[in-house]
Amino acid sequence: MPATTPAIGGGARTIISLAQPSYASVDGKMQTLFVITALAAVFTSTFSHSLPSQIETDAFIKSINEKATTWTARKNFEGWTPEQLKSLAGVIGINRGNNTLPVIHRAIQVGDIPDSFDSRQVWPFCEFTIRNQGACGSCWAFAAVEVMSDRLCIFSAGAKKFVFAPEELISCCTACGSGCQGGFLNEPFNYWMNHGIPSGGDYGSNQGCRPYTAAQTGQTPACNERCVGGYTKSWEQDIRHGIASFQVTNTVDQMQHEIMINGPVSTYMEVFEDFYSYGGGVYQHTSGNSVGGHAVKIVGWGSENGIPYWTVANSWGTGFGEGGFFRIIRGVNNVGIESYVVAGNPNTAE
- Catalytic annotation, pick one of 95, 132, 314, 334: 314
Nearest to 294 by CA among 343, 251, 335: 335
Q: Which of 70, 96, 138 is nearest to 332 (CA)?
A: 70
pLDDT per residue as tens digits for the range 275-312: 999 999 999 999 999 999 999 999 999 999 999 999 99
Superfamily of domain 4-344: Cysteine proteinases (3.90.70.10)
Give the pLDDT score at 98: 55
Which residue is catalytic, options 139, 153, 172, 176? 139
CB 177 within 8 A of CB 91: no
Per the DSSP assignment, residues forming a β-bridge with 187 are: none
**pLDDT tens string 197-255:** 999 999 999 999 999 999 988 899 999 999 999 999 999 999 999 999 999 999 999 99
Residue 168's pLDDT is 98
- Residue 139: active-site member: yes
Q: What is the rounded CA–CA span in Å between residue 161 and residue 186? A: 23
| Domain locations in the chain as residue ranges | 4-344
The residue type at 66: E
294 is known as an active-site residue: yes
**pLDDT score, position 51:** 52
322 secondary structure, DSSP code = B
β-partners of residue 247 are 103, 342
Predicted pLDDT of residue 224: 92
| b/e code 59-79 from CB counts within 10 Å (16+ = b) | ebbebbeeebebbebeebbee
Task: Name the strand (E) or helix (H) holding 270.
Answer: strand 265-272
295: CB partners within 8 A, 6+ apart:
90, 91, 139, 140, 142, 143, 144, 185, 266, 267, 268, 269, 315
Torsional sign, CA 6, 49, 285, 189: negative
The series of mean pLDDT values per 10 residues for the chain, 350 residues long, is 30 26 32 35 38 79 96 92 82 68 89 96 97 93 98 98 98 96 95 98 94 92 94 97 97 98 98 96 96 96 98 96 98 97 98
The 10 Å Cβ neighbour count of residue 159 is: 10
3-class secondary-structure state, position 61: helix
What's the DSSP call for residue 69?
S
Q: What's the chain's length in residues? A: 350
Kind and range of the H or E run holding 110 = none
End-to-end CA distance of the chain: 46
- Report the pLDDT value the prediction gives residue 94, as an integer from 0 to 100: 66
Which residues, other chains included, contact 275 with Cβ-Cβ below 8 Å and sequence gap of 6+? 283, 285, 335
